[in-house]
């Protein structure tokens, strides 16, 4: 028996195919293959840079689907089903929009695969007619029982030289736009420390991206893990919330354990926006009248040499064109290592989506991810203080200015962070031009490879 795992691309540029030069290992597919009994043959195709050989015989196509890749995933599913190969779709998007995904597959998988993938494989062994339309797994049971991802499947595919790994899943905070908060129901799950340490030990590479949603959601669990990590002398990056800066012991451990920096969601400089979006970690211990525009937190990050990837969401109800320019200035003057200026996106099943739907502000029939005319990083709702096109332009202006060679050079001059060691400078100089190039390539990209309409139905809330 053979299972073909697929990582879909987002889509294509206006006049050529899009090849993601900053692509990383598709860890979820490595985990799924790791969960698969050894007598089943597993192959992996990554649509981000290779052709999918649809005619190669296989017993099942298993596709991982995110909202940005949903359109392309459904195209790939249709190709396989046309050839009589059954398709199963899983991941964040099928979990948060299950009725839609079910229209494009023989089976959908809701939640994490760990507790239910074995059933899929056993049903398939009995015959494809035994595959059930819907499987469910509990969220947060990451690689239970010491399952190791099949990283051998990643060899030769030109991924960035960074090993992706999980320490935890989920996050305890309630941010209203966040798919994570919804998927994990505001819970945070930590893997047993020993299993993670063993997985690190099994790696030759010592540069790790912990793909946690919020590595520091539980400070005490993180500290216990970091103490064990110190002697391993690895270098690592992850994603975490800014409330870390209130715990100096944690900050010390981050540095000692080899943390170069984290993706941190600053989102906005406006306390009104932060309150509206329920961005609790950014408001911890901050009173509105003591709001210092993150200066205290940024200084703590710099003190511990953190090369921060600052993430912003643009288009909240208190945003204006002027406040977006201020946000850009804040990022540039603080010389963050990287920054993501993302338009606020309504993901299905989130409170933000429900609010905008109720207020009649959703564009693209409320399903921007399927709409044939929607383009990457364009507004998908009507903002309060500007037009959708103005929001699109304002966001692009931030991305464009941030990634200009002159700005990259200017931002480099921080002796506490990028210039504090040759290794850190190397990271800064290698990855800034790469991410900049990808930002230009992706802007305005079409979703999927074809421009036809996709089967859909009005968006309903997930049953999660
Ligand atoms: C690491 C990461 C990235 C990395 C890239 C990783 C890579 N390999 O290419 C970077 C930083 C580059 C990135 C980029 C983006 N990302 Co991202 N990313 C993640 C993150 C944090 C972890 C992914 C991961 O490896 N997890 C570990 C694996 C093991 O877990 P998993 O993917 O959830 O899979 C489990 C289950 O979902 C399920 N499952 C998954 N697929 C399948 C398939 C089948 C068949 C089955 C049965 C089960 C199953 O079983 C798995 C094992 O338990 C996720 C959040 C998350 N928790 O997953 C966001 C996430 C997937 N990203 C997201 C987004 C929006 C993006 C961007 C579009 C951001 C942007 N605006 O540019 C880009 C572009 C994405 C793209 N497709 O090109 C969103 C997607 C939202 C949604 N509703 O779909 C997420 C959920 C984050 C969020 N806060 O909302 N991302
Ligand atoms: S802190 Fe980050 S991961 Fe947690 S709910 Fe908010 S946006 Fe999502």
Same domain, 293 and 393: yes
What is the SS3 assignment for 253?
helix
Ligand nearest to the CA of 279: 2
Residue 100 pLDDT class (50, 70, 90 cuts): very high
300 pLDDT more than 90:
yes
- Both 122 and 242 in one domain: the answer is no
For CA atoms 12, 18, 22, 23, the dihedral sign is positive
Confirm whether 88 is domain-assigned.
yes
Asked whether the predicted pLDDT for residue 286 surpasses 80, the reply is no
pLDDT band at residue 42 using 50, 70 and 90 as cut-offs: very high
Q: Domain with 295 in it: what CATH number?
A: 3.80.30.20
Tell which atom from ligand 2 comes closest to the C-alpha of 174: 5
44 lines ligand 1 (CB under 6 A): no
Average pLDDT of span 254-259: 98
Write the CATH number for 7: 3.40.50.280
Least confident segment among 93-97, 187-191, 254-258, 290-294: 290-294
* 108 lies in some domain: yes
If you ran DSSP here, which 8-state letter would residue 11 be given?
A: E
Domain count within the chain: 2
Q: Which ligand is nearest to the CA of 106?
A: 1
Sorting pLDDT into bands at 50, 70 and 90, what band is 458? low
Of 404, 382, 402, 401, the closest CA to residue 392 belongs to: 382
* Cβ–ligand 2 contact at 173 (below 6 Å): yes
Of the candidate ranges 53-67, 129-143, 288-302, 358-372, the one whose mean pLDDT is the lowest: 288-302
> Do 267 and 218 lie in a common domain?
yes
More confident residue, 458 or 453: 453
176/291 same-domain check: yes
State whether 314 and 179 are in the same domain.
yes
Q: For residues 200 and 286, which has the higher predicted lDDT (pLDDT)?
A: 200
Q: Is the C-beta atom of 445 inside 6 A of ligand 2?
A: no
Alpha-carbon gap, residue 396 to 404, rounded angstroms: 12
Residue owning tokens 């979820």: 28
Residue to mutate, 19, 66, 108, 163, ligand 1, most ligand atoms under 8 Å from C-beta? 66
Torsion angle, CA of 344/267/276/218, rounded to 10 degrees?
120
Same domain, yes or no, for 43 and 115? Answer: yes
CA dihedral 457, 461, 463, 464 (to 10 degrees): 130
b (16+ CB within 10 A) / e for 153-184 = bbeebebbebbbbbbbbbbebebbbbbbbbbb
pLDDT reading at 304 higher than 80 = yes
Residues 227 and 264 in one domain: yes
Radius of gyration of the chain (CA): 22
The answer to whether the CB of 258 is under 6 A from ligand 1 is no
List all residues 6 or more positions away from 133 whose beta carbon is below 8 Å from its beta carbon: 102, 106, 107, 108
Is a pLDDT exceeding 80 seen at residue 456? no
Distance, CA of 62 to CA of 212 (rounded, Å): 23
Q: Which pLDDT band holds residue 16 (cuts at 50, 70, 90)?
A: confident
- Tell me, rounded to whole angstroms, the distance of Cα 76 from its chain centroid: 21
Residue among 96, 169, 173, 239 to mutate when testing ligand 2 (max atoms within 8 A of CB): 173
Q: Are residues 180 and 281 in the same domain?
A: yes
Mean pLDDT of 362-374: 96
E-strand spans in 65-123?
Answer: 87-90, 107-110
pLDDT tens readout for residues 312-329: 999 999 999 999 999 999
Kindly state if the Cβ of 113 falls inside 6 Å of ligand 1. yes
Residue 26 token pair = 């598709």
In a domain, 144, yes or no: no
Q: Is 309 in the pocket of ligand 1 (CB under 6 A)?
A: no
66 CA from centroid of ligand 1 (Å): 6
State the closest ligand 1 atom to the C-alpha of 342, by its place in the atom list counted from 1: 71
pLDDT of residue 386: 98
Query: Which atom of ligand 2 is nearest the CA belonging to 186?
Result: 5
Are residues 189 and 122 part of one domain? Answer: no
Residue 459 within a domain: no
pLDDT surpasses 80 at 15:
no
Q: Say whether pLDDT at 139 is over 70.
A: yes
With cut-offs at 50, 70 and 90, classify the pLDDT of residue 66: very high
pLDDT at 14: 72
The pTM score is 0.96
What angle in degrees, to the nearest 10, is found between the helix axes of 422-442 and 388-403? 150
**Residue 460 lies inside a defined structural domain of this protein:** no
How far does the centroid of ligand 1 lie from the alpha carbon of residue 419, in Å? 31
> How many C-beta atoms surround the C-beta of residue 289 within 10 A?
6
Is 449 domain-assigned?
no
The residue with tokens 């993938």 is 117
Give residue 378's domain range: 151-442
Is residue 26 situated within a structural domain?
A: yes
The pLDDT of residue 146 is: 87
Residue nearest atom 63 in ligand 1 by C-alpha distance: 66
Which atom of ligand 1 is nearest to 62's Cα?
Answer: 45
Average pLDDT of the segment spanning 328-337 = 98
pLDDT at res. 453? 75
Residues 58 and 114 occupy one common structural domain: yes
Average pLDDT over the chain, rounded to an integer: 95
Structure tokens at 456: 């859909």
**What pLDDT does 195 receive?**
96
In whole angstroms, give the CA distance from residue 38 to residue 40.
5
What pLDDT is attached to residue 431?
Answer: 97
User: Quick one: which ligand is closest to 64's CA?
Assistant: 1
In a domain, 146, yes or no: no
CB 284 within 8 A of CB 243: yes
Which of 84, 112, 136 terminates a domain? The answer is 136
**392 and 343 in one domain?**
yes
Of 5-9, 80-84, 135-139, 460-464, the one with minimum mean pLDDT is: 460-464
- Ligand 2: residue of 180, 211, 239, 245 to mutate (most ligand atoms within 8 A of CB) is 180
**What integer pLDDT is reported at residue 209 of this predicted model?**
98
Concatenated DSSP letters for 415-431? TTTTTSSHHHHHHHHHH
Pocket of ligand 1 contains residue 140 by CB under 6 Å: no
Pocket test for ligand 1, best of 8, 64, 154, 376 (most atoms within 8 A of CB): 64
Distance from Cα 173 to the centre of ligand 2, integer Å: 6
Contact 333, 164 (CB under 8 A): no
Cβ(180) – ligand 2 distance below 6 Å = yes
Tell me what pLDDT residue 463 has: 53
Give the C-alpha separation, 54 to 104, whole Å. 16
Residue 304 backbone dihedrals phi, psi, to 5 degrees: -100, 25
- Are residues 380 and 424 both part of a single domain? yes
């Amino acid at each position: 028996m053979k299972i073909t795992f697929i990582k879909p691309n987002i889509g294509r540029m206006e006049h050529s195919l899009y090849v993601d030069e900053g692509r990383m290992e598709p860890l979820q597919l490595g985990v799924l293959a790791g969960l698969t009994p050894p007598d089943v043959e597993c192959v992996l195709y990554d649509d981000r840079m290779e052709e999918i050989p649809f005619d190669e015989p296989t017993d099942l196509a298993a596709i991982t689907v995110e909202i940005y890749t949903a359109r392309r995933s459904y195209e790939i599913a249709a190709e396989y089903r046309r050839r009589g190969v059954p398709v199963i779709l899983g991941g964040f998007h099928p979990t948060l929009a299950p009725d839609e995904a079910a229209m494009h597959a023989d089976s959908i998988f809701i939640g994490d695969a760990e507790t239910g993938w074995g059933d899929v494989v056993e049903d398939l062994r009995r015959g494809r007619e035994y595959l059930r339309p819907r499987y469910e797994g509990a969220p947060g049971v990451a690689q239970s029982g010491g399952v190791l991802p099949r990283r051998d499947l990643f060899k030769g595919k030109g991924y960035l030289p960074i090993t992706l790994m999980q320490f935890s899943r989920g996050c305890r905070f309630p941010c209203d736009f966040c798919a994570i908060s919804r998927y994990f129901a505001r819970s945070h799950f930590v893997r047993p420390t020993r299993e993670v340490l063993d997985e690190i030990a099994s790696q030759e590479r010592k540069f790790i991206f912990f793909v946690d949603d919020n590595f520091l959601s539980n400070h005490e669990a993180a500290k216990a893990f970091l103490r064990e990590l110190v002697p391993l002398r690895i270098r690592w990056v992850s994603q975490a919330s800014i409330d870390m800066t209130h715990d100096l012991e944690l900050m010390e451990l981050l540095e000692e354990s080899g943390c170069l920096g984290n993706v941190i969601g600053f989102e906005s400089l406006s306390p009104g926006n932060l309150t509206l979006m329920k961005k609790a970690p950014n408001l911890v211990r901050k009173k509105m009248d003591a709001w210092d525009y993150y200066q205290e937190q940024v200084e703590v990050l710099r003190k511990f040499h953190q090369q921060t990837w600052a993430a912003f969401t643009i288009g909240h109800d208190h945003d204006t064109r002027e406040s977006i320019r201020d946000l850009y200035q804040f990022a540039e003057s603080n010389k963050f290592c990287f920054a993501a200026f993302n338009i606020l996106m309504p993901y299905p099943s989130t409170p933000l989506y429900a609010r905008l739907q109720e207020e009649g502000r959703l564009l693209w029939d409320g399903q921007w991810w399927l709409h044939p005319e929607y383009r990457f990083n364009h507004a998908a709702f009507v903002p309060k203080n500007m037009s959708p096109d103005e929001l699109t332009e304002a966001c692009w202006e931030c991305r464009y200015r941030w990634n200009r060679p002159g700005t990259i050079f200017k931002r480099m001059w921080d002796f506490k962070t990028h210039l504090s060691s040759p290794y850190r400078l190397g990271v800064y100089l290698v990855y800034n031009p790469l991410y900049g190039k990808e930002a230009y390539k992706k802007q305005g990209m079409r979703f999927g490879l074809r421009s036809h309409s996709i089967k859909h139905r009005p968006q309903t809330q997930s049953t999660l």
